[in-house]
Amino acid sequence: GESVGLHLPTLSVQEGDNSIINCAYSNSASDYFIWYKQESGKGPQFIIDIRSNMDKRQGQRVTVLLNKTVKHLSLQIAATQPGDSAVYFCAEREAGTALIFGKGTTLSVSS
Amino acid sequence: EADIYQTPRYLVIGTGKKITLECSQTMGHDKMYWYQQDPGMELHLIHYSYGVNSTEKGDLSSESTVSRIRTEHFPLTLESARPSHTSQYLCASSGYTDTQYFGPGTRLTVL
């Protein structure tokens, strides 16, 4: 599968590969993290979230990993499909404050 | 599937016009938000509300205003639109969890 070390604006993978999208956050007090998928012309769609008392959470074909030591969040998509092509955003939040969105990563899946 | 609606979806207007972007949700969520997003870029919070008669400015300075007279409705108004207001405006809401659900967005073009 394809992975990126630090945030990259684009990621291209082949259908069936596993994708890993990375996100670095800055606020060590953040206690809630969330990933969104945004398709062209649409609003962001919730994918998965995780709280700071966890380091891994799994959904359907997606896994979010949280490394609080290095303030790093990643989204893993298993068996990537063409329908997964979109822009993916991570967001962080400190309790009592608003969500802060990161720069998006455009995932392109080719058949 | 989130029940949050935005109208209009697309709007092209001339400079100096007053416009109101509508946002409604049927989930009974107390918290509602407005974000501004330029194409391919991250979301920036411009206004939020934690309940009826409560409104706050977000991190991004905006010349728009909002009101929250009813739980389900959170309109955003621009008194005098300018070309610099050209952007996508996204409305979101959240309930007792921290997950924000987004509407489809309004793409505004000011000529």
Report the distance separating Cα B4 and Cα B23, nearest Å: 7
Residue A96: pLDDT over 90: no
Across the interface, whether the CB atoms of B40 and A87 are under 8 A apart is answered yes
Determine contact, residues B77/B64, Cβ cutoff 8 Å: yes
Q: How far apart are the first and last CA of chain A?
A: 15
Residue A6: pLDDT over 70: no
Start-end of H helices in chain A: none
Q: Tokens standing for A13?
A: 């993978």
Q: What is the mean pLDDT of chain A?
A: 91
Residue B65: pLDDT over 90: yes
Query: A-chain residues within 8 Å CB-CB of B58?
Result: 98
pLDDT reported for residue B108? 97
Instruction: Determine the residue among B23, B25, B100 to mutate to test chain A binding: the one whose Cβ has the most chain A Cβ atoms within 10 Å.
Output: B100
Query: A-chain residues within 8 Å CB-CB of B105?
Result: 41-43
Across the interface, whether the CB atoms of B98 and A45 are under 8 A apart is answered no
Which residue of B40, B44, B101 is in closest CB contact with A46?
A: B101
Determine contact, residues A46/B101, Cβ cutoff 8 Å: yes
Residue A5: pLDDT over 50: no
Q: How confident is the model at residue B2 (pLDDT cuts 50, 70, 90)?
A: low
- The dihedral built from the CA positions of residue A40, A44, A48 and A52, taken in this order, carries a sign that is positive
DSSP string, A52-77: TT-SEEE-SSEEEEEETTTTEEEEEE
- Tens digits of residue pLDDT in B5-60: 999 999 999 999 999 999 999 999 999 999 999 988 889 999 999 999 999 999 88
Chain A nearest-CA distance from B90, in A, is 7
